[in-house]
Chain A
């Protein structure tokens, strides 16, 4: 086991403990919001504690990928390309989970799995952009060109993040605004009281720890993949 992997596993174990505490808090301590009257609404509301942190991690991963993209274009060091692709892959995984868990929450709250309202539409467009990012990478063979194009793409794709976040504040939507605001048209919303807020922020912290653990591990495997590719080329040129 190499140092990078050891750090990644240590962080992963720490994140797993934080997740366990988060689960205990969500199911054992968190009160039901007073405005949600039916059992179905109250149970569905518990999805919030892990659904929103999934999106938080996704957006954080895309932000770090965009910053890495800027650094690659200005400094030109391979390490920023490695960080960028690792972060996008993690971001895409978590936003995929966020889309699915959101859809499951929507069914009991809005009586539909999916609706083309502003938040869901912008989230789906953003998700597709990052799928496109990975497709772009796999379509370019030249490493430097791939890194340069990907860096530009990750910066442009990041524009989808603030648009998705602000969609429910800019346009009339059925998606509730729980954090920093309220919505007249939102369905299934609730107030972020002190206990709910505290537990929610703990969940955000646990997911952030998980992100950094995964980033450490995924970055290391990306370096390994590049080393293998380099050695493969060395062998081919010599034979």
Chain B
């Protein structure tokens, strides 16, 4: 059988793929920043907060960690409008990613917070720092530094997970790939011998994403190293 991969048809649509890459990176960046803020707050709540707040945060974390991202996304995008909250695909994607990363980073950051030596907190308290000052200036910075590698892997997982956002027509990389595929689609039955585009497009998109994730990972971990030694 004669199969030829025709990447040309894919590459000629490069602006679309590029825009997809931009969306993927943008979604991940926004999701990461907001998600880590949520995670930090929840980690604080779980470590120091009042009992009722601890229970709520615990439920939130377990709910998110034990359901698939795609279901969370569908719930937010398709489910919430029925309850009166209408969201664009992009906003729904960001909310889903923030909630998702927030839950995972809660656990990660909490581990860092719990690893703080007691003497540090006692020393800070004896210097008459207020409770919030102790948390923000003494406990949090070294905790974040400690858990940074775990955080980076989680961010990459979220980035890979953002592929699912194409399912609700957020125009990220996978969506772009699917769009190109359906524009140029050559029906399998008609052109069995000809290059089948979906495979090629999928391959290209996957390769691009792999490269992107690697670069991000490396940049972030270098950043982390810099902090470690600095």
Is B one of A's binding partners?
no
Q: Give the B-binding residues of A (Cβ under 8 A).
A: none
Q: Give the A-binding residues of B (Cβ under 8 A).
A: none
